[in-house]
A and B are shown apart, each in its own frame.
Chain A
Amino acid sequence: MIDRRLLEHFDWVLFGLTLVLGGIGILTLYSAATANVDIVGVKGPVYLKQCYWLAIGTGVMILLALFSYRWLNRLALPIYLVSIGLLVAVLFVGKEVSGSQRWLIVGPVSFQPSELVKISLVIMLARYFSENVSEEGFSLMELWKPLIWALIPFALIVKQPDLGTSLIVLLIAGTVTIFVKIERRSLLCLTGAGIVGSVVAWFFLKGYQKQRILAFLDPHGDPLGAGYHIIQSKIAVGSGLLFGKGFLKGTQNALSFLPEQHTDFIFSVLAEEWGFLGAAVVISLYVLLVIWGLSVAVRSKEPFGTILAVGLTSMIFWQAFINLAMAVALLPVVGVPLPLISYGGSSMLVTMGAIGILLNISMRRFLFKE
């Protein structure tokens, strides 16, 4: 099965970038966790667990690079249905953590199906769009199927409730759709519907979700609640100055002023300890990762590969962008992990799985010719 040509074309840059970011994550978690050994719900040192996740993730990444990604085209529907099935299951038998039901527990393993559904939706969309793509762009009539495929997981994740992930699902679907081109008229219609939808949705948001958005708009409205997180994150990031306070020397983190410092606000810890230079390096690594993903897309010689790569890249892009923007108080705190750096198995495995598929597409760019 493994062709010598495949090994020759293995994408070492993408592979290396992934491991470097994962390594930075472990270092940062080490700092975040030494300050705070009693992070709720995590037994044992967080950074050690993250090491295991990175190792397992690397395995998943390589595994997903081995077989031809064209199988994904054929298996798109079953994969999609299974992940939707898991999302439904989580509503009934999921474990509730601080008010939302996101986790599915199988034996010793717990994971979030909402992470998996991001990939399965991308595969589904890539298949549909690659079969129907044209230079004129898609009209509304052609878009109703993808719209439904995206809205089903969106609704299920909103129900958990997990605002951040559900928005990511919509953003990914939207990015892929715009990439394959959509008629101007249809785009306007969908945008209009989206605006109306979000106004209506406001009335259905849970109290804490509304509060987070309001706190972002006016951090001083509820200083001791949601606004506090934003202010503390700004202080942490800002106090890093050019060179940072140094590894393990972050005070905001050490005194546990930062909420969720191992997941949502991991970047604040990093920016405080490594300063503007360190933060800029990390951001550059993400830029490189995303651009590399895009180049994989362009270099692929067939539409399915291209669109699939675009979808997976957009997933990484949006998560990274939203998380970073949140940490520097440009966006509300919606609870989106930073890919490869934030603590968490599901996020790690799914991100590395996505990169595995990107490696897959990259390796096979010469196999499929027009």
Chain B
Amino acid sequence: MDRYLHTVDSDWYRQRAAGALICILAAFLILLVRLYYLQIVEGHEFRRQSQNNCVRLQGIPPPRGLIFDRNGVLLVENRPSFNVSIVPREAKNPNRVVHKLAELLHIAPETLFPRLAEVRGARSFRPVLLRRDVSRDVVAIIEAHKLDLPGIVITVEPTRHYLEGKRASHLLGYLGEISSEELKSGCFPDNRIGDFIGKFGVEKAYEPYFHGKQGEQQIEVNAIGQLTRVLKTDEAISGKNIYLTLDIGLQRKAEALLAGMVGTAVAMDPSNGHILAMASSPAFDPNVFVEGMTHESWNDLASNEFRPMENKTIQGQYPPASTYKIVTAIAGLEEGVITEHTRIFCPGYYRYGDRTFRCWKRGGHGFMNVTDALAQSCDVFFYQVGEKLGVDRLAIHAKACGLGLPTGVDLDKEAKGLVPTSGWKLIRMGVPWQGGETLSVAIGQGFDLVTPIQMLSLISAVANGGIRYKPLVIRRIESSDGSLVKKQVPMPLGRLSASEKTLQIIKKSLMDAVNKPTGTGWIARIAGVDVAGKTGTAQVVTMAEDDDDKEKSVESMRLRHRDHAWFIAFAPAEEPRVAVAVLIEHGGHGSRAAGPVAREMIKTYLGDLRIDD
């Protein structure tokens, strides 16, 4: 150790210490200068601010992004709403003030914010929300009794307003207060308790775009908490505006057509996947959610037997019925089980083992090729195609058509439907597949389940030459100053498993279905426009072999036993500009209930286009 003591003498340490001393003095000098600045130079300003501690900082909520339709028609905006809050510390006795307020407004005090007791310390200087969105009358009463209501403040906050009420409510969605789970999840770093966020529909899917950046205001208040001076303002930054793919004209038409019915009508531009209309009936009014709804009205919505809160376009799962024959036909032609010339005789029934499967047409269709069978929706023809294919080969083509999987539309809660296979049944039910079940599946009954948007995506692909596009609900996103943030480009998901030739056959069949008097879709024809389409009548109650319910008129059947009606179509056949899918729950026959809805939507949309040209 001595060796080291000699290598470094105490002078060396003295030098090092001198360096340290300079650093220390410099550091403390900085502190003193800073203190001098705060206490002497700026001191009087701070002293003034500290008197009554009159400086408050309050957040400025950012206006949420607006929603427009594809042509720039404003659908959703923000309106000012008046919120009543209390600043507990300024109220001195918050409970008495709250009771006084309740008395003035003739409401029960319990309906106002009840958790004042928990607010203490520095937090007691923050306003506690008592009531959202009060009327101007209430504001006037409070202003008039200002002196009796110390600590009561009224703030103006932007509130969501859906201009057309229930219109397109399932697509637009609604807002709700952020839940504590959502706050904890970390997905909403900019939000606080009490903020409204998108809970459904486009409002939810594009929440990060809609939400702007909170602004902030440094203000001075007087002894009873009223604003006397604004010291500093950092403006809030508005959320992004979204332009939907929706055509509000077509949407209005679709909703008018569905009025009084339970079901959905949805339209797409087959060339790019743009959703032009998405109506689901019955609908709800999203304004109610921000205005504050009572427990009863929520229960009414949630327990309504016609499920108004459900977007039937993407959440409803139905047997595809005869619309599925498109898939069976593609599978049959592609697998070589049939050719376009294959003819099968339909006597009105088909025997499989010891069971008899009937055609919807009692007397039979006679000899049918695939085009006639699709156009006239012959069950017997497709029983036999299905039997030759087997359920698993059929399933491969169904999946290539986008069935059994969500389409990926940017909306919450999309159902995926069901494409049954023998393996699925064995795992799910523990019993092997029965051959007869294949026959049901081949005509879209049995285990088959699809959503209307899946069928729309399928019929669009048939229309555009086989490409399945992701259904798009927005076209572009702009910032509030109009600059482009994001432009949505078409997103091909895959191709139908159909060759060019097969698609031609299908198209021809679907045109015959509408344009030949023998076709099942005759009701949907439009003079001057080639409409191509397919009907479907989905059985709700299994058809017993000798059930003569079928012979009865639809009207005489009990509503919940009536069949679901399908119609999927596109037009014009040669250069398709619009595809539609319509499903009417318990609507009875596909052609009669759903056909006219599809026809009128096509007419409206193509009519609009003609005006544009």
- Footprint of B on A, CB under 8 Å? 36, 38, 130-135, 175, 179-181, 207, 220-221, 223-224, 227-228, 231-232, 234-242, 251-252, 255-259, 271-272, 275-276, 279-280, 283, 286-287, 290-291, 294-295, 297-298, 301-303, 306, 310, 317, 321, 324-325, 328, 330, 370
Known contacts A224-B59, A290-B24; is-contact A238 B46 (Cβ 8 Å): yes
Do A252 and B32 touch (CB < 8 A)?
no
> Would you give the 0/1 interface string for B1-13, flagging 1 where the beta carbon is closer than 8 Å to chain A?
1001101101011
Q: Which residues of B contact A224 (CB under 8 A)?
A: 57-59, 126
Do A276 and B39 touch (CB < 8 A)?
yes
Checking A280, A294, A330 against B17 with a beta-carbon cut-off of 8 angstroms, the contacting residue is: A294
Q: Which residues of A contact B14 (CB under 8 A)?
A: 298
CA distance A328 to B42 in the complex (A): 13
Q: Which of B47-55, B65-73, B104-112, B259-267 contacts A (4 or more CB under 8 A)?
A: B47-55
Do A237 and B32 touch (CB < 8 A)?
no
Known contacts A234-B46, A257-B125, A291-B24; is-contact A298 B4 (Cβ 8 Å): no
CA distance A235 to B122 in the complex (A): 15
Do A257 and B34 touch (CB < 8 A)?
no
Do B42 and A238 touch (CB < 8 A)?
yes
Q: Which residues of B contact A232 (CB under 8 A)?
A: 122
The reply to whether the CB of B341 lies closer than 8 angstroms to some CB of chain A is no
Do B59 and A235 touch (CB < 8 A)?
no
Do A241 and B50 touch (CB < 8 A)?
no
Checking A252, A279, A302 against B35 with a beta-carbon cut-off of 8 angstroms, the contacting residue is: A279
Known contacts A234-B38, A325-B31, A328-B31; is-contact A239 B43 (Cβ 8 Å): yes
A361 to chain B, nearest CB (A): 13
Q: Which residues of A contact B25 (CB under 8 A)?
A: 287
Nearest A-chain residue to B186, judged by Cβ: A207
A173 to chain B, nearest CB (A): 15
The reply to whether the CB of B16 lies closer than 8 angstroms to some CB of chain A is yes
Do B216 and A220 touch (CB < 8 A)?
yes
Do A242 and B13 touch (CB < 8 A)?
no
Checking A241, A306, A325 against B13 with a beta-carbon cut-off of 8 angstroms, the contacting residue is: A306
Known contacts A235-B49, A241-B44, A259-B122; is-contact A220 B35 (Cβ 8 Å): no
Do B50 and A252 touch (CB < 8 A)?
yes
Checking A132, A251, A276 against B53 with a beta-carbon cut-off of 8 angstroms, the contacting residue is: A251
CA distance A255 to B47 in the complex (A): 15
List the 3 shortest-distance A-B pairs measured between CB atoms, nearest first: A238-B46, A223-B57, A239-B50
Nearest A-chain residue to B5, judged by Cβ: A370
What number of B residues sit within 8 Å (CB to CB) of A? 51
Known contacts A238-B43, A271-B39; is-contact A179 B234 (Cβ 8 Å): no
Do B53 and A303 touch (CB < 8 A)?
no
Q: Which residues of B contact A223 (CB under 8 A)?
A: 57-59, 216, 218
CA distance A172 to B55 in the complex (A): 39
CA distance A256 to B142 in the complex (A): 29
A172 to chain B, nearest CB (A): 13
Nearest A-chain residue to B41, judged by Cβ: A238
The reply to whether the CB of B21 lies closer than 8 angstroms to some CB of chain A is yes
CA distance A282 to B472 in the complex (A): 67
Q: Which residues of A contact B1 (CB under 8 A)?
A: 131
CA distance A312 to B38 in the complex (A): 31
The reply to whether the CB of B427 lies closer than 8 angstroms to some CB of chain A is no
Q: Is the interface of A mostly helix, strand, loop or mixed?
A: helix
Known contacts A301-B10, A302-B5; is-contact A220 B234 (Cβ 8 Å): yes
CA distance A209 to B239 in the complex (A): 27
Given contacts A241-B40, A276-B39, A324-B31, 11 further A-B contacts (CB under 8 A): A131-B4, A228-B57, A238-B50, A240-B39, A241-B43, A251-B50, A258-B122, A298-B17, A303-B5, A328-B35, A328-B38
CA distance A321 to B53 in the complex (A): 28
Most buried by B among A133, A231, A238, A283: A238
Do A303 and B43 touch (CB < 8 A)?
no
Q: Which residues of B contact A234 (CB under 8 A)?
A: 38, 46
Do B32 and A251 touch (CB < 8 A)?
no
The reply to whether the CB of B27 lies closer than 8 angstroms to some CB of chain A is yes
B164 to chain A, nearest CB (A): 36
CA distance A131 to B3 in the complex (A): 9
The reply to whether the CB of B352 lies closer than 8 angstroms to some CB of chain A is no
B248 to chain A, nearest CB (A): 39
Q: Which residues of B contact A317 (CB under 8 A)?
A: 24, 27
Q: Is the interface of B mostly helix, strand, loop or mixed?
A: helix
Known contacts A235-B46, A283-B28, A298-B13; is-contact A133 B8 (Cβ 8 Å): yes
Q: Which residues of A contact B8 (CB under 8 A)?
A: 133-135, 303
Q: Which residues of A contact B35 (CB under 8 A)?
A: 237, 271, 276, 279-280, 283, 328
Q: Which residues of B contact A286 (CB under 8 A)?
A: 28
Nearest B-chain residue to A40, judged by Cβ: B121
Do A330 and B59 touch (CB < 8 A)?
no
CA distance A50 to B58 in the complex (A): 37
Do A294 and B31 touch (CB < 8 A)?
no
CA distance A130 to B3 in the complex (A): 11
Q: Which residues of B contact A302 (CB under 8 A)?
A: 5
Do B24 and A181 touch (CB < 8 A)?
no
The reply to whether the CB of B557 lies closer than 8 angstroms to some CB of chain A is no
B109 to chain A, nearest CB (A): 27
Q: Which residues of A contact B27 (CB under 8 A)?
A: 317, 321
Known contacts A256-B122, A283-B31; is-contact A237 B38 (Cβ 8 Å): yes
Q: Which residues of B contact A290 (CB under 8 A)?
A: 24
The reply to whether the CB of B227 lies closer than 8 angstroms to some CB of chain A is no
Q: Which residues of B contact A298 (CB under 8 A)?
A: 10, 13-14, 17
B23 to chain A, nearest CB (A): 9
Nearest A-chain residue to B8, judged by Cβ: A133
Q: Which residues of B contact A36 (CB under 8 A)?
A: 121
Nearest A-chain residue to B46, judged by Cβ: A238
Q: Which residues of A contact B43 (CB under 8 A)?
A: 238-242, 276
21 intermolecular pairs with C-beta atoms under 8 Å apart: A38-B120, A134-B7, A207-B186, A220-B232, A220-B234, A237-B35, A237-B39, A238-B38, A238-B39, A238-B47, A242-B40, A255-B53, A276-B39, A287-B24, A287-B25, A291-B21, A291-B24, A298-B10, A321-B31, A325-B30, A330-B34
Q: Which residues of A contact B47 (CB under 8 A)?
A: 238-239, 241
Nearest A-chain residue to B42, judged by Cβ: A238
Nearest B-chain residue to A181, judged by Cβ: B16
Most buried by A among B13, B121, B234: B13
CA distance A227 to B234 in the complex (A): 14
CA distance A175 to B57 in the complex (A): 40
The reply to whether the CB of B345 lies closer than 8 angstroms to some CB of chain A is no
Do B39 and A275 touch (CB < 8 A)?
yes
Do B4 and A179 touch (CB < 8 A)?
no
Nearest B-chain residue to A279, judged by Cβ: B35
Q: Which residues of B contact A271 (CB under 8 A)?
A: 35, 39
Checking A133, A221, A258, A321 against B4 with a beta-carbon cut-off of 8 angstroms, the contacting residue is: A133
A214 to chain B, nearest CB (A): 11
Do B17 and A236 touch (CB < 8 A)?
no
The reply to whether the CB of B45 lies closer than 8 angstroms to some CB of chain A is yes
Nearest A-chain residue to B48, judged by Cβ: A239
The reply to whether the CB of B489 lies closer than 8 angstroms to some CB of chain A is no
A27 to chain B, nearest CB (A): 19
Do B55 and A235 touch (CB < 8 A)?
yes
Checking A251, A280, A294 against B51 with a beta-carbon cut-off of 8 angstroms, the contacting residue is: A251
The reply to whether the CB of B134 lies closer than 8 angstroms to some CB of chain A is no
CA distance A303 to B35 in the complex (A): 37
Q: Which residues of B contact A236 (CB under 8 A)?
A: 50
The reply to whether the CB of B113 lies closer than 8 angstroms to some CB of chain A is no
The reply to whether the CB of B20 lies closer than 8 angstroms to some CB of chain A is yes
CA distance A297 to B12 in the complex (A): 12
Nearest A-chain residue to B30, judged by Cβ: A330
The reply to whether the CB of B36 lies closer than 8 angstroms to some CB of chain A is yes
> Would you give the 0/1 interface string for B210-237, flagging 1 where the beta carbon is closer than 8 Å to chain A?
0000001010000000000000101000
Q: Which residues of B contact A227 (CB under 8 A)?
A: 57
A149 to chain B, nearest CB (A): 20
Q: Which residues of B contact A238 (CB under 8 A)?
A: 38-39, 42-43, 45-47, 50
Q: Which residues of A contact B53 (CB under 8 A)?
A: 235, 251-252, 255, 257
